[in-house]
Amino acid sequence: MIVRTASKFKADFFIEKDGYEINGKSIIGVMTLAAEQGAELVLVMDGEDEQEALDALVGLFEDGFGEVV
Amino acid sequence: MSLPENVINGAPPSREVRLRGCGVAPGISIGPAYVYARASITVEEQSIRPEDVASELERFEGALVRSERDLKKVVAVANERLGDESVAVFEAQILMLKDEAVLDEIRTMISSRMMKSDYAVRFVLTKHRQRLEASGNEYLQERSSDIRDVEERIITHLRRNKLLSAIDPHTIVVAENLTAADVILFSRRGILGCVMDYGGSTSHVSIMARALGLPTLVGAHSATQSVRTGDTLIVDGLSGALIINPTRETTERYGRLQSRYTQILEEQKEYVPLPAETIDGRRIALRANLEFKSELELLDEYGAEGIGLFRTEMLFLTEGRLGVSEEDQYKIYSRFVEASGDHGTTIRVLDLGGDKLLPVAHREHNPFLGWRGIRVLLDKQDILRTHLRAILRASVYGKLRILLPMVTTLEEVKRFRVVYNSVCDELRAEGIAFDEAIRIGAMIEIPSAALTADQIAAEVDFLSVGTNDLTQYVLAVDRGNDLVAELYQELHPAVLRLLRMTVDAAHAHGKTVSVCGEMAADSRNVPILVGLGVDELSASPVYLPQLTRIIRSIEYTDVSDLADRALNSSDAEAVRCLLDDWLKSHPYDLLHILDS
C-alpha cells in the first residue's frame, strides 16, 4: 500500500531506519523494511510534490494500514 | 484412458518401489516421471566483457517481459478456477517484476560490475530475501519465498531452459514442492499428475490440484530422491499410493482400477440426488468444506447439503492483514450464504495463528500451543466485532451458522457470547436486519474441549470435531515432522474415545455433532464415524457422492457394534485390522477398490 501510494507522486521517497535506507517505491524494499517492525522510521521526500506525497503517506501510517499493530 | 506404450510392452526397468503420500485430488495416473528439481538451478559467478553489456541488458529485459507474461497467464487461470481472491499472491509477484528500484540494482550489477545477468539477479534478490528470512517471522518468510519464485522465474527465462510450462506433456511431475502457480502452468501443458515431497492437503496447492482435477499426492517424503526422470509411476490420488516402476501385474491392476475409477465416477452420479441414509434408516447430513467462491457451483454438482465448513482465513491471508473491511467481508459471506440455499452455511470465524499477522515481537516458540483461533479473536475484539457484523448482516440471505475454532474452555464460549450479544444490540440499534436465531457451535479440536464436551454442549447449539488438530494434540504429534509422522493416527483408540465422548455429550443435550477434518473425507473411516454416532460429515464436495454410496450400504446397528470394538482396541493398528476384517466381511465394491 505504501508503494502504491508513493508511486502516484513524482517526488523521490525514501524510508530510513537505523541508517538503513530503502526506496519507498520499491515493493521488495518495503517488504524487507517490514521485517523490522516496531522501529522508528524516517520518511524522506524529495521533489516538486513532496508535501502532498508526505501528507498522503503520513495519513496511511496514522491509519495503521488497517492492520493490527 | 490408454497406457503408455513402454508400460504395456517393455519389461519394467527395475524393481517396484512403493511410497506413501497423502492423496489430495482423487484419480489414478499412470505415466513416465519428470523430476522437476527447482533447487538444481545453480548460478555461478560469471563476468561478461564490456562489449557484451548491451546485449546482456537486453537479455535481462526480455526475461522480465516473458516472466510477466507467465504470471499474467497464471492470474487468468487462477481467476477462472478459484475466483479473484486467490490471485493476490501472483499479482504481488507481478509488482515485484516491476520494482524499478530493484531492477535498477540488477541493471547496475550488469553494466558496471560486468556481472552475467542470471548471477546479477540471484545476487541482488538473495540479498533482499535474506533480510526477510532473518526476520524469523513466518508471514515474512513466506513472502521471501515469493521473491524466490520471481527470482527463479527470471533465471529460468534467462536460460531459455525447459520452462516450468515447457515440461513434457503426459508426464507425472515429481518435485520437492510446487506452488499453486506451477500446478496451473503444468496442467495447461497437459501433465498427468503431481507428486510432492512436502505439503499438506489443506495447502493452496492442494486445493488448486483438486480444483483442476489433477491426481496429486503431497507429503510423499523422499519421492524426489527415489524417482528418476523416465521411471514409470502410478499415482493413486484415492489411497495416496505412489508406485515406482510397477511390475506388469501391478500396472495391469491399476489400469483396471483406472478405468474402474472412471466408471465409478459415472456410477456415483446416481448417488448425488439420494439422501445419505443407512439401510436401517439413520440419516447422516453430508456437507461441503469450501474456501473459494468458484467452488460454490460444486455444491449442486456433488449433492452437498449446504456448507459445513467455510474457512474465512483465505480472505484475510490474501489481503495480508487483519483489517479486511466489514463491507468486503459482508459481500463474500452473503454470496456463500445465498448460494448454500436451505441447508445453509457454517461460517468458521477467523482461525489464524497470531504469528501469521503480527510483528516479530510476537513471535511464538510454539505456535501450535499458542495464540490461535478464538484466543486471538477474544484478545482483538475490534477485529472480532467487524467480523461478526459482516457475518450477521449476511445472515439475511439464508441460513447461517457460526463456528468457533480452537475452543479450550467453556469460559471462551461465554466470553464470545458477550461480544456476540453486544454486536447484535449494536445492529438492532442501527436498525440493521439479521437472523435472530443463528446457531452457534464450537469446534472440538483440543482434548480439553472433548473432555468437557458435556459442559460446552450445554452452552452451544452444535459441536464440530476437527479431527486433524484433535489427533495432533491428543497424540502430541506434529504430522509435518517426518521423525514422528507415523504416530499421527486418526484411528487411534484415544482419538476415537474422545470422539465418542463428544458425541455422547452432544446427544445428551439434544445437540448434533459433525466431523469436518480430513478423516471425514476418507471413505474407509465412514463405518467407524457413523458407528460412533456422528450426525454430519463435512468434506471437499468431490468426496460426497462416494460417502453417500457407502452410508447407503451400511447398517447403523452393525457399524455401532464395529465402533464399540474399535474403542476397546489397543492401538491404531488393531483398529485398522478390525476395520479390514469388517470390510472383508462386507464386500462392497467401492471399499474393495479403495483397499487395493
Gap from A15 CA to chain B (nearest CA, Å): 13
B573 assigned to some structural domain: no
Chain B residue numbers with beta carbons less than 8 Å from the beta carbon of A26 are: 99-102
Q: Do B359 and A32 touch (CB under 8 A)?
A: no
Gap from B74 CA to chain A (nearest CA, Å): 20
A68 pLDDT higher than 60: no
pLDDT of residue B82: 65
Give the C-alpha separation, B474 to B498, whole Å: 9
Domain boundary among B203, B232, B266: B266
> Residue B274 gets which letter from DSSP?
S
Q: Over range A46-57, report the average pLDDT.
A: 82
Catalytic residue flag (residue B204)? yes
- Do B63 and B206 belong together in one domain? no
Q: Over range B518-530, report the average pLDDT.
A: 88
pLDDT of residue B320: 56
* Interface contact B379, partner A, CB < 8 A: no
Helices (H), B98-168: 100-111, 117-134, 138-159
Chain A residue numbers with beta carbons less than 8 Å from the beta carbon of B131 are: 32, 35
Which residues does residue B235 pair with via DSSP β-bridges, in sequence order?
Answer: B29, B242
Give the C-alpha separation, B387 to B378, whole Å: 12
Give the C-alpha separation, A13 to A7, whole Å: 9
Q: Grade residue B160 by pLDDT with cuts at 50, 70 and 90.
A: low
pLDDT of residue A36: 55
B523 pLDDT higher than 90: no
Give the C-alpha separation, B114 to B108, whole Å: 9
Q: Over range B412-422, report the average pLDDT.
A: 98
B327: region left, alpha or beta (phi > 0 left; psi from -120 to 50 alpha) = alpha
Give the C-alpha separation, B80 to B398, whole Å: 26
CB B210 within 8 A of CB B542: yes
B267 or B419: which leads in pLDDT:
B419
- Do B29 and B119 belong together in one domain? no
Residue range(s) defining the domain that contains residue A20:
2-66
Gap from B336 CA to chain A (nearest CA, Å): 25
- Residue B396 has φ and ψ, to the nearest 5°, of -75, -10
CATH number assigned to the domain comprising residue B382: 3.20.20.60
Q: Do B383 and A32 touch (CB under 8 A)?
A: no
* Top mean-pLDDT range of B143-157, B207-221, B376-390: B376-390
Q: Over range B28-47, report the average pLDDT.
A: 79
Q: Over range B262-276, report the average pLDDT.
A: 84
Q: Do A64 and B323 touch (CB under 8 A)?
A: yes
Give the range among B91-95, B184-188, B352-356 with minimum mean pLDDT: B352-356
Domain boundary among B115, B132, B159: B159
What does the block give as the cell for A19?
Answer: 541508517
What are B199-214's pLDDT values in tens digits? 766 666 777 787 778 8
Q: Grade residue B501 by pLDDT with cuts at 50, 70 and 90.
A: very high
Looking at residue B260, its amino acid is R
Q: Do A3 and B95 touch (CB under 8 A)?
A: yes
pLDDT of residue B326: 94
- Do B342 and B217 belong together in one domain? no
pLDDT of residue A57: 79
- For B266-291, b/e burial (b = at least 16 CB within 10 A) is eebeebeeeebebeeebebbbbbbbb
CATH number assigned to the domain comprising residue B105: 1.10.274.10
CATH number assigned to the domain comprising residue A32: 3.30.1340.10
What are A6-46's pLDDT values in tens digits? 777 877 888 877 777 778 788 888 777 765 556 677 888 88
Gap from B23 CA to chain A (nearest CA, Å): 35
- Do B109 and B229 belong together in one domain? no
Q: Do A32 and B99 touch (CB under 8 A)?
A: no
What are B442-496's pLDDT values in tens digits? 999 999 999 999 999 999 999 999 998 999 999 998 866 667 778 889 999 999 9
pLDDT of residue A32: 74
- Do B261 and B214 belong together in one domain? yes
pLDDT of residue B521: 83
Which of A28, A37, A67 has the CB atom closest to B128's CB atom? A28
B594 assigned to some structural domain: no
What are B176-189's pLDDT values in tens digits? 888 777 787 788 77
What does the block give as the cell for B414?
Answer: 461465554
Chain B residue numbers with beta carbons less than 8 Å from the beta carbon of A38 are: 359-361
B581 assigned to some structural domain: no
pLDDT of residue B319: 62
Which residues neighbour B360 within 8 Å (Cβ) at sequence distance 6 or greater?
A35, A36, A37, A38, B135, B136, B137, B140
Mutation target to probe the A interface, by most A beta carbons within 10 A, among B89, B107, B140 is B140
Q: Grade residue B11 by pLDDT with cuts at 50, 70 and 90.
A: very low
- Do B196 and B339 belong together in one domain? no
pLDDT of residue B2: 43
Give the C-alpha separation, B306 to B323, whole Å: 28
Task: Report the domain count for chain B.
Answer: 3
- Do B356 and B498 belong together in one domain? yes
Mutation target to probe the B interface, by most B beta carbons within 10 A, among A5, A7, A22, A31 is A31
* Interface contact A31, partner B, CB < 8 A: yes
Give the range among A6-20, B250-264, B272-286 with minimum mean pLDDT: A6-20
- Residue B516 has φ and ψ, to the nearest 5°, of -120, 10
- Do B325 and B225 belong together in one domain? no
| 3-state secondary structure (DSSP) of residue B358 | coil
- Do B293 and B226 belong together in one domain? no
Give the C-alpha separation, B268 to B283, whole Å: 19
Gap from B379 CA to chain A (nearest CA, Å): 11
Chain A residue numbers with beta carbons less than 8 Å from the beta carbon of B147 are: 28, 31
Q: Grade residue B75 by pLDDT with cuts at 50, 70 and 90.
A: confident
Q: Do B132 and A35 touch (CB under 8 A)?
A: yes
Domain boundary among B218, B248, B266: B266
Which of B96, B102, B323 has the CB atom closest to A67's CB atom? B323
* Interface contact A20, partner B, CB < 8 A: no
What does the block give as the cell for B113?
Answer: 560490475
Task: Report the domain count for chain A.
Answer: 1
pLDDT of residue B132: 79
What are B406-416's pLDDT values in tens digits? 999 999 999 99
B34 assigned to some structural domain: yes
Give the β-pairing of B536-539 and B512-515.
parallel
B579 assigned to some structural domain: no
B367 pLDDT higher than 60: yes
ipTM of model: 0.75
B318 pLDDT higher than 80: no
B593 pLDDT higher than 50: no
- Do B405 and B334 belong together in one domain? yes
B194 pLDDT higher than 80: yes
B6 pLDDT higher than 70: no
Mean pLDDT score across all residues of chain B = 85
Q: Do B100 and A25 touch (CB under 8 A)?
A: yes
Residue range(s) defining the domain that contains residue B219:
5-40+168-266
Q: Over range B6-14, report the average pLDDT.
A: 46
Q: Over range B396-412, report the average pLDDT.
A: 97
pLDDT of residue B81: 66
B589 assigned to some structural domain: no
- Do B326 and B422 belong together in one domain? yes
Q: Over range B33-62, report the average pLDDT.
A: 81
Q: Do B128 and A65 touch (CB under 8 A)?
A: no
pLDDT of residue B384: 95
pLDDT of residue B590: 46
- Do B351 and B246 belong together in one domain? no
Burial class (CB in 10 A: 0-12, 13-18, 19+), B200: middle
Mutation target to probe the A interface, by most A beta carbons within 10 A, among B97, B99, B132, B148 is B99
Q: Which of B204, B343, B387, B492 is catalytic?
A: B204
Q: To the nearest whole percent, how much of chain B has pLDDT over 70?
A: 87
